[in-house]
Amino acid sequence: MEEPHSIENHLNPELLKKEIRTAADRTASTKTKNLEDRIRRSCINVLFLILTCHAVFGEIKNGYGNIRATKESLRILRALLFEDVNINPAKRRKIQETIENFENHISYYDLTENLLTQFKSIAPELYAQVDTITDRLGRHVNVHVQFVTAGSTEIQAEGTTYVNQVPNDIDACQSEYGEFTLAVKVWIVPRALQVLAHELGHVRYIVPNFANYLKYFKNHYYDISSSNCVGHNPDDPSGHTATQFAKSYQKNYSKFLKNSIRRLQDPPTLLARIRKESKII
Ligand SMILES: [Zn+2]
């Protein structure tokens, strides 16, 4: 199987500065009563609240976070629209928009959850290698994965891994999710799981070799915005591991298809089904 051609391993600090949610937000989001009060007061000033448990052990995580608060917000807003007949049309429209945003967010969360489970079933050994990954000093690192709309990432690549260095700790990774984390975004395309395998291959190499690899990266890739194959110089060990992971996934997938009676829907079809079902609930 050919290597995915438009995949990028990206270490741009600027992209990592956005949307690091504060611990205060996360704590507040667990307080459903407060949340409910806020929603009822302002109706549309409801943000996507992402809860992140502080994990003792590293693991692969759903990058959309914990969506309990989002689901609760959605329930309240739907009830508000249904019960309150006195809401003016403009406000009703805004509430409807917020509901659609929440439904969308939950759909992407569910898709990511579903695809991570599929990946684990198809290639458990590859999954485990990243699920238990540690840096050079043995510290656990979380890998946050999001499946996103094709074309929606700043870098136009089917898969992108985002990682930066923690100040004063050359071996430590960080991303928008905080210290000891990486972020992986994969477009929702039919071969999304193969793309994920490729990105997890980058992660597998980079995390335990981070300080040295970052030196290599800075010496070999000067303009990461103008290329969509960063991470794949002929002598780049991260690129080699990514290619191996994708090949290994493909072998596992072929074996899975022979042995399983389960039919897997491709990711875009799966998302459409999840969206349809979320409207019914
Ligand atoms: Zn790559």
CA dist., res. 258 & res. 178, Å (int): 40
Whether residue 224 sits in one domain with residue 145:
yes
- Whether 279 is in a domain gets the answer no
Return the pLDDT at 43: 32
- Whether 280 is in a domain gets the answer no
On average, the pLDDT of the chain sits at 82
* One-character DSSP codes across 160-187: EEE-EEETTEEEEEEETTEETEEEEEEE
pLDDT in tens, 8-49: 444 433 433 333 333 333 333 444 455 445 444 443 333 333
- Whether 2 is in a domain gets the answer no
- Asked whether 197 and 126 are in contact (CB, 8 A), the reply is yes
Return the pLDDT at 42: 40
The Å distance, Cα 128 to ligand 1 centre, comes to: 20
Whether residue 182 sits in one domain with residue 130:
yes
The Å distance, Cα 25 to ligand 1 centre, comes to: 34
CA dist., res. 203 & res. 197, Å (int): 10
Whether residue 126 sits in one domain with residue 94:
no
pLDDT in tens, 187-237: 999 999 999 999 999 999 999 999 999 999 999 887 666 556 788 899 999
Q: Is the pLDDT of residue 277 over 90?
A: no
Q: Which of 149, 152, 181 is nearest to 166 (CA)?
A: 181
Whether residue 255 sits in one domain with residue 133:
yes
Local confidence band at 84 (pLDDT 50, 70, 90 cut-offs) = confident
Tell me how many domains the chain contains.
2
Whether residue 236 sits in one domain with residue 146:
yes
Whether residue 257 sits in one domain with residue 178:
yes
CA dist., res. 264 & res. 266, Å (int): 6
The Å distance, Cα 237 to ligand 1 centre, comes to: 11
* Cα 222 versus chain centre, distance: 26
- Whether 184 is in a domain gets the answer yes
Strand order in the sheet with 142-148: 7-10, 159-162, 181-187, 142-148, 60-62
CA dist., res. 193 & res. 37, Å (int): 40
Among 103, 121, 139, residue at a domain's last position = 121
Tell the residue number behind the tokens 């194959």, with chain if given. Answer: 229
Q: Kindly state the tokens that stand for 267.
A: 């990711």
The Å distance, Cα 180 to ligand 1 centre, comes to: 21
pLDDT in tens, 131-154: 999 999 999 999 999 999 999 998
The Å distance, Cα 34 to ligand 1 centre, comes to: 44
Whether residue 139 sits in one domain with residue 33:
no
CA distances, 198 to each of 52, 109, 201 (Å)? 26, 21, 5
Among 97, 121, 145, residue at a domain's last position = 121
Helices (H), the chain: 13-16, 23-29, 32-42, 68-83, 89-122, 124-131, 192-206, 210-220, 237-259, 267-280
Better-scored residue on pLDDT, 107 or 27: 107
The Å distance, Cα 30 to ligand 1 centre, comes to: 37
Domain containing residue 28: 23-57+66-121
- Whether 259 is in a domain gets the answer yes
